[in-house]
Each structure stands twice: as structure tokens, then as C-alpha cells.
Structure 1
Amino acid sequence: MTGYVYMLASQKRGTIYIGVTNDLGRRIPEHKEGRGSKFTARYGVVRLVWYEEHFDIRDAIQREKSLKRWLRQWKIALIEKTNPEWHELCRGTGW
């Protein structure tokens, strides 16, 4: 089963949330509607700024755990490597 690791942000260089899912197209709208997690709803962390696809969900889960241990500056560098302006990567219901 395919898996995705993703990072959401409240704004450029704002609060960051790291998650994992097997269906990014379903999960991101859940966050935007306030159903994704209490943390993202409370802090307005709903902008998809980075994601990575894995062919095995177990690899995605391991990557998520690893990223959560990273220093904040490393997470920012990872986002800015492919998305320097922190643009929203999910438009509407499709992404």
C-alpha cells in the first residue's frame, strides 16, 4: 500500500505539522475542514507545503518518525528545497 509523508504549515516559516496517510487527496481536505487533528485545527496548520510518496506505507511511517526527530531548521530546509515560498500544494479537493 502506498503512503505519503507530508508537512503542513500555518504560514511561511510558521507552525509545522508532520503527518502520514495512505490517501493524501482525502487527508488534506480533512485538515482544512478541521477534522484532521486537534493540533492542526487549533493552530490553523492547514497549508500543504511538502510531501513525499512511498511505495510502502511502512516506509512512510518510518520517515514520518524520523522527520519528527529533526531540528526545526532541518525541516524548514527540506521544505524550502522544493518549495522556497511555501506555496500551497493542494488546490481545492484535488491536488
Structure 2
Amino acid sequence: MFYVYIVECKDGTLYTGWTVDIEKRLTAHNRGKGAKYTRSRFPVVLKYLEQVASKPEAFQKEYSIKQLTREQKYQLIAQSKSDQIT
């Protein structure tokens, strides 16, 4: 399984990525060992997580999220939280 995720950095910015092990990836981000973007912006907080079946699907989903505006990303986050409730 693959995961596409959005984290919020300590400066309030959003970072989107993909991984096969979300716990390991979050730990890396929060130790300053993750993506170059998050190295100076940790700690990060997981805001969105989606499981996908394949690596190409993870790349495609990551790309599509990165094309969204900040407002649209927050709408996606809010929608995913309301989907979990129902």
C-alpha cells in the first residue's frame, strides 16, 4: 500500500508527499530528516491521509493535490475529516 499525505508545518505551510510507511515518514519529518522543505519547518502535524493501491496512483494523487490552492487543500482536509465521521 501507498499513502498520500498532507502535513502542516510549524510555520503554517502545507507539504504534500507520498510514502509506503506513514509513521516512519512522519518521524523523519519531525526529526528534520524528511523532505528538504520540511527540514527547517518541523514539527509537522498530519492533516490528510489517503491510501492508494499503486505507486503511479500515489504520484498522480500527489501531483493533483499540489495543483490545488491552499484554500482547496484545506477544503480537502475538511472533507476527509467529515467522511471519517459518517
TM-score range, shorter chain: 0.7 to 0.9
**Mind listing any 5+ residue stretches in structure 1 that lack a counterpart?**
85-95
**Mind listing any 5+ residue stretches in structure 2 that lack a counterpart?**
none
In the TM superposition, what whole-angstrom CA distance separates every residue of 1:7-27 from its partner, at most 9, and x where no partner exists? Answer: 00025xx21000011111211
**2:25 counterpart of 1:27:** yes
**Alignment TM-score, normalising by the size of structure 2:** 0.83
- Residues 9 and 41 in structure 2, CA contact (< 8 A), matched pair in contact too: yes
SS state at 1:43 partner: coil
Measured in 2, the distance between the counterparts of 1:48 and 1:23 equals 13
**Alignment TM-score, normalising by the size of structure 1:** 0.76
What's 2:73 paired with?
75
Which aligned segments of 4 or more residues in structure 1 are displaced greater than 6 angstroms?
none
Aligned residues: 81
What's 1:63 paired with?
61
Sequence identity percentage? 33
What's 2:16 paired with?
18
Q: Which has the higher helix share?
A: 2
Measured in 2, the distance between the counterparts of 1:74 and 1:82 equals 12
Measured in 2, the distance between the counterparts of 1:42 and 1:65 equals 23
Measured in 1, the distance between the counterparts of 2:18 and 2:38 equals 14
RMSD: 1.7
